Structure 1
Amino acid sequence: MRRTRRQRKATKLDTFASRYTMGEKLGEGSFGSVFKGQRVSDGLQVAIKFVRKLHVSIFLQADEIKVMPVEVALLQIRSQTPICKTVIQLIEWFDELDRYILVLERPDPCKSLDSFLQDCGGYVTEDMVQNLMWQSVMAAFQCRRQGVLHWEIKPENLLINQDTLEVKLIDFGCGDFIKKYGYNIFEGTDEYCPSEFILDGRYHAGPASVWSLGVLMFRMVCRYLPFTNDDDITGGGLHFRDGLSDGETNESILVNNCENDSCSYL
């Protein structure tokens, strides 16, 4: 059957290429590449992530005929109300022949927290760490409240707006749904691995998130990671850089900020 002009136009408008323009590459990982982009209809600045299907190992059934990668499923859950401003939002996604395309919000100006720390000489002040940690804790809390485990809360997966110091958690490619009975595999970065997994081969989402947040805080304060191998992690010995405060003042402020017992919920 020959399609009408209106049908051809509607089909064209449904494609990624007709709705977005591409810009420079922002980054590349083992599972995909991310580019700057712009929505044609209104000029909205976005980030566009391309993921090859051969790199996706976990899928979910979206409906009777369509499946989606778990990253899309987790982002869709996180993009539901109530919206958490410390987690990146998924605008839409496209299923093409050999790849998935994720269109994400793109704060501007922004860079990875890892790059920001390097620009600051490797670490930032304790007052700034307090602000960044509070936002990171809230991102982890909101993910947990909606049943999502990120697995990779680290400077490379946090975007920071250099003007406002607002933080957003990104990249759910290694994420999973929270499982009541825990996990017997670890998909994250080795230096952030919880000690109970090394000792017992099993861990739970809440304690693992708290552990990774602790490693993140140490990294922001000290310039280096607290652990470099399994023996370091299970040994638990911490070596702080010189010049830090005793922590009493910052600790009391952080505790007071944990409204409605949000921190303990992790």
Structure 2
Amino acid sequence: MLDWFVEDGTHILIMEYPHPCETLANFLESHKGRLKETEARHLLRQAVNAAKHSIDHNLTHGDLHRENVLINTRTMELKLIDFGFSSLIPDTPCEGVAEMVLSMGSLVFMMTTGYEAFNRRDQDLLHNPRIKALGLSKGKSSRSSEHEQKMPYHPWSGAVSWAH
């Protein structure tokens, strides 16, 4: 974010648009629909850091999906864009954080499998033979109410720096 201001009760965010870049959706298309786990892990770490930075400033994105993630194709630097549905987080940020954790899970699922995480045709994608055939690692999930603290330390993602 380059700058922000309030006009007529509306928060206006001035964001950079790196060049050369493309949305995660287009980036995935140009990589045959999915990424290697190491590439997905690299992007996920950046997405988690960006989300954590927002949370630390009491802001939740509100619309995190593949069209609202930009990737600089030269540096592989990730940026979150379009904060049009963002909102300030109340004193207890559980709801906004849970939404962002779910969005991160959906993004990493898509990056590593090439499939939408929630698809009406495949109600149970994790048991779908097409997904099993991809040979993804068997990391264990962490089910905790402290998602924002545990997600970056999951064995799959490696340690993520929460520093600003």
TM-score, normalised via structure 2 length: 0.74
1:152 paired residue among 60, 63, 81 = 63
Distance 1:253 1:110, change over 3 A: same
Q: By how many angstroms is 1:226 displaced?
A: 1.8
Q: Contact 2:28/2:111 (CA < 8 Å) preserved in 1?
A: yes
Q: How does 1:32-181 map to 2 (within 5 A)?
A: 62=6, 66-70=7-11, 72=12, 75=13, 90=14, 104-180=15-91
Distance in structure 2 (CA, Å) of the matches to 1:147 and 1:105: 20
2:155 matched residue in structure 1? 252
Distance in structure 2 (CA, Å) of the matches to 1:114 and 1:154: 9
Q: By how many angstroms is 1:181 displaced?
A: 5.7
Q: CA-to-partner distance for each residue in 1:152-176, whole Å, 9 max, x for gaps?
A: 2211001101111111000001111
Do residues 207 (structure 1) and 110 (structure 2) align?
no
Q: By how many angstroms is 1:68 displaced?
A: 4.4
Between the two proteins, what is the percent identity of the paired residues? 29
TM-score, normalised via structure 1 length: 0.47
Q: Contact 1:126/1:221 (CA < 8 Å) preserved in 2?
A: yes
Distance 1:161 1:206, change over 3 A: same
Q: By how many angstroms is 1:179 displaced?
A: 2.5
1:223 paired residue among 107, 114, 122 = 114
Q: By how many angstroms is 1:143 displaced?
A: 0.3
Q: Contact 2:113/2:134 (CA < 8 Å) preserved in 1?
A: no
Q: Which amino acid aligns with 1:254?
A: S
Unaligned residue ranges in structure 1 (runs of 5+): 1-60, 76-89, 91-103, 183-202
Larger RCO (CA under 8 A, 6+ residues apart):
2
Distance in structure 2 (CA, Å) of the matches to 1:226 and 1:105: 29
Distance in structure 2 (CA, Å) of the matches to 1:173 and 1:122: 27
Distance in structure 1 (CA, Å) of the matches to 2:23 and 2:88: 25
Distance in structure 2 (CA, Å) of the matches to 1:243 and 1:130: 16
Which secondary structure does the structure 2 equivalent of 1:168 belong to?
strand
Q: Contact 1:222/1:241 (CA < 8 Å) preserved in 2?
A: no
Q: Which amino acid aligns with 1:258?
A: V
Q: By how many angstroms is 1:245 displaced?
A: 3.3
Distance in structure 2 (CA, Å) of the matches to 1:241 and 1:114: 23
Q: CA RMSD in A?
A: 2.5
Select the structure of larger CA radius of gyration: 1
